[in-house]
Chains A and B, each alone.
Chain A
Amino acid sequence: MKTKRLTELSLLTAAALIAFIIELRLPDLSAIPGVKLGLANIFTVYAVYRFSCKEVFLMMITRIFLGALFSSNFSAIIYSLAGGILCLGGMLLLKRVIPANYLWLCSIFGAILHNTGQIGAAAILTRTPAVLAYYPFLLVSGCIAGLFTGLCAQYVLKRLIRRKTDQDNG
């Protein structure tokens, strides 16, 4: 891996972590567990469209582990991992079908898959299928949050591409 790419990935991971920690400090949007904006997802979707599978995967795993460390909530890491891996896998596949200017669509799928993975892990690991009652809530909130984070990432990506081409021309 080239140093420049490594630096870029580390920077993105750090930025995602900051977004994650800021979000922890915000009051909960709803009493339902798992309903949140997922600001860190902005960086993940962005990375999905800029880096290779392996690179994004490394970034995601690093973020989840460090995020669990910083939020001192290690019991939740298995849910984050289940959601994260499903979300990332889905988005990496969808990237082949959905071009960058419909990035928000990919992000919505990512959010849906993330919530699916989390609630699936919760239902299986705790052997309490009753938590599935939250699933429709999570889907609706996930669609909205995914749209928001996806649009954020899309604007960033657009600007970066424009700047890059300006540099090449100048």
Chain B
Amino acid sequence: MTKGVKLALFAVLIIFLGALAALVFLRRPAQGTWVEILQENKVLYTLDLSQEPDRTFRVELPDGSWNEIRIEDGTICISDADCPDHTCVRTGKLHSEDIPIVCLPHKLIVRYCDPPEES
């Protein structure tokens, strides 16, 4: 085992353990009930899941593509979309503060947010 190999092995171990630690740290369950839906970093909706009635609605993009958002018993998920990969649909319900539902082709994000300030 040469010095280069040892160094590489060490680097891999550090990256792996670091990522693992970050995973454990990131696994924060949802704390609030406020959720925002963003498209290209612009907030389209801000919703309070504890107040929302069960419903399904579509978020349409200017070019006609869409994502269907479903709110059910205080949970939110993307139930259908016309994007090519459907990753957003397979992600399932939003359940973590730090891991948003992302639809890359449509640049759409559903994530938890802070409650808006009372004015």
A positions within 8 Å CB-CB of B: 28, 31-33, 72-73, 75-76, 94, 97-99, 102, 105-106, 108-109, 112, 122, 126-128, 130-131, 133-137, 139-140, 143
Contact = CB atoms under 8 A, between A and B. Distances in A.
B109 A130 contact: yes
Given A33-B102, A99-B2, A130 B8 contact: no
Interface string B19-45: 110110010000000000010110000
Contacts of B105: 75
Given A131-B104, A140-B16, A143-B19, A105 B111 contact: no
Most chain A beta-carbon neighbours within 10 Å: one of B1, B12, B40: B12
22 contacts: A76-B85, A97-B4, A97-B7, A98-B4, A98-B5, A98-B8, A102-B8, A105-B5, A109-B11, A112-B15, A128-B40, A128-B41, A128-B102, A130-B100, A130-B102, A133-B26, A133-B98, A136-B19, A136-B20, A136-B26, A139-B15, A140-B19
- Number of chain B interface residues as a range: 35 or more
Contacts of B100: 130-131, 133
B58 interface: no
Given A31-B92, A122-B104, A97 B99 contact: no
Nearest to B96: A133
A108 B11 CA distance: 11
A94 B84 contact: no
